[in-house]
Amino acid sequence: MLCINCKKNKYPLFNCNKLNYCNNHALLLFNSFVIKIQKVYRGYRRRKYLKNIFNRLPRDLQLHILQFNNNKTKLLREKINAHILKMTSKIKSLIDVGDNEITLNELITIIDALIKYRHLIETRWLNYYKYYFINIKSILVSLIYKKALMLNINIYNSLNFYTNLLNNDFNKVSLVLIGKINSFNHATHFT
């Protein structure tokens, strides 16, 4: 038996509408229909489960079960916020920011985490990070392009450029950080 499309004898063969198809052509032609049937069946099984078990429970037990789902998301949100606060301990307060030196590579790892978890960060901290990184961006722009901008002297004093100047990659790392700051500001603007 030959496949009707490729005219080769490949096994397994599928017979659909009295036509033979090899495995590859059967997947190409009918995979979307199979996925649709599977989706409908999974939805049917879930609705049947809810109808038979969950909906027959008293309302107070239903609320108790739903509360477990909500607590998991709250715990996840709290864990992620705690991790980000621990990661950003050097930049957590503008008063103490001059006491801790921070490198550009550390700032890149911080902003990557902030971009990844921007939906789970508390609003007050999100606004603070926006303000902090806008100041970092203005400092880097003034250093790279030699423009006169208003700078926050506390944040400027906390930056450690020594490793980047030693490796001769200050401009490259600064431009990467500026790009990440722009994407962070753009992503949080629409959140």
- Which pLDDT does position 190 carry in this prediction? 64
- Which pLDDT does position 108 carry in this prediction? 93
- Which pLDDT does position 178 carry in this prediction? 93
Q: Give the domain ranges of the chain.
A: 1-56, 72-189
Look at the pTM and tell me if it is higher than 0.85: no
Q: Which helix (H) or strand (E) holds 182?
A: helix 170-189
CB contact at 8 A, 180 and 107? no
Q: How many CA atoms lie less than 13 Å away from 150 in the CB half-sphere?
A: 1
Residue 101 one-letter amino acid: E
Residue 42 one-letter amino acid: R
Q: What is the pLDDT along the chain (191 residues), one digit of tens a residue?
A: 677 777 777 777 778 778 888 877 877 877 888 888 888 888 888 888 888 888 888 888 888 888 877 777 788 888 998 999 899 888 887 777 778 888 899 999 999 999 999 888 888 889 999 999 999 999 999 988 888 777 888 888 888 888 888 888 888 999 999 999 999 988 887 65
- Which pLDDT does position 113 carry in this prediction? 93
Q: Are strands 19-22 and 159-160 parallel, antiparallel or unpaired?
A: unpaired
- Which pLDDT does position 175 carry in this prediction? 92
CB contact at 8 A, 30 and 16? yes
